[in-house]
Amino acid sequence: MITFKQLEAIYWIVELGSFEAASMKLNMSQSAISKRVQELEDAFDVPIFDRSKRSARLTEKGTELFEHAAEMLRQRDYLLERISSREVLVRRFRLGVTELTALTWLPALVEQIREAYPKVVLEPSVELSSELFKKLENDQLDLIIVPDVFDDARFVATPLKTVENAWMCAPDLYRESAPMDLQALSAYTVLTQGGSSGTGLVYERWLAQHDVRLNRTLISNYLVAQIGLTISGVGISYLPRQCLAPLIAEGRLRVIETRPGLPQIRYAAVHRADRLQGLSVEVARLAHQCCDFGRLLLQA
């Protein structure tokens, strides 16, 4: 008879890449993990892993078994989630966020999740929007919090708050009090987040719509680095206005008004539509309650 323990062994070997890592995850010996794999191979009379390779690589039938095993484990978790109380629900939840969320209100969301589901094991990931979306698509994450730029019917998006960005620079870089014409940006180095960032993608398109061609750009995938480079006077950048208000008040950053101003960026909590997981829906609801981009933790 096939057991969930055997399926879990296959799942974690593939997810973590080795028998050793799976044994540590499941708190078992490698021999016990190998025994569970062998039991499945005996039950189906097919090899699951290609033992001619050094890494844990699935055979063709092993890949098919893994896909079914992953789905069965998801359905088991969903059933337990539906019939168990929050206090006894034990499950891992893979949450992906962008750097701005991690630096502002992620701790509040984690606290809310732990209060509602004390035994749920959170596995957070902080990456660029495009990478988070790719991992959600590949079922490597359960829910992501990103700029709402991915219009895809395969996913459910719960709208969160918007982020107001503004052009900023070091006070000595631009001293004019009048609003800057967008075309004048071409005279400066502009610090951007690039197309792998949801915000960067929105503003790339927006600048193109206004026929703005930037002559010198410096792409940074990290918000903290972007802020630091802007304060250092390297160039002009778009940055979140509200959470950087203390740095503006201290005179370390200066806001440059433009006509038109930058569009606001709507964030969303996104999960797969084909995963009937109530926990994803609940975390999206908690995210809606906690969402507040008003203050960087670095300034706390």
3-state secondary structure 225-267: HHHHHHHCCCCEEEEECCCCHHHHHCCCCEEECEECCCCCEEE
pLDDT of residue 25: 81
- Of the pLDDT bands very low, low, confident and very high (cuts 50, 70, 90), residue 50 is confident
pLDDT of residue 232: 95
How many helices (H) and strands (E) in the chain?
11, 12
pLDDT of residue 129: 94
Name the nearest CA neighbour of 217 among 190, 195, 183: 190
Q: Determine the 3-state secondary structure of 203 from DSSP.
A: helix
pLDDT of residue 259: 84
Q: What is the CA radius of gyration of the chain?
A: 24
Q: At a CB cut-off of 8 Å and minimum separation 6, what does 171 contact?
A: 251, 252, 253, 254
- Beta-strand relationship, 165-169 and 236-240: antiparallel
Q: Per mean pLDDT, which range of 25-29, 216-220, 246-250, 274-278 is the poorest?
A: 274-278
Share of the chain above pLDDT 70, in %: 93
**Dist. CA 87–CA 271, nearest whole Å:** 23
Give the tens place of pLDDT for each residue, 2-17: 888 888 888 888 888 8
- pLDDT reading at 147 higher than 50: yes
- pLDDT reading at 87 higher than 60: no
Q: Domains plus CATH for the chain?
A: 4-83 (1.10.10.10), 92-158+266-299 (3.40.190.10), 165-263 (3.40.190.10)
**Dist. CA 256–CA 174, nearest whole Å:** 8
Give the tens place of pLDDT for each residue, 251-298: 999 999 998 889 999 999 999 887 656 788 889 999 999 999 998 886
Share of the chain above pLDDT 90, in %: 49
For residues 171 and 180, is the Cβ–Cβ distance under 8 A?
no
**Dist. CA 225–CA 279, nearest whole Å:** 34
The mean pLDDT value of the chain amounts to 88
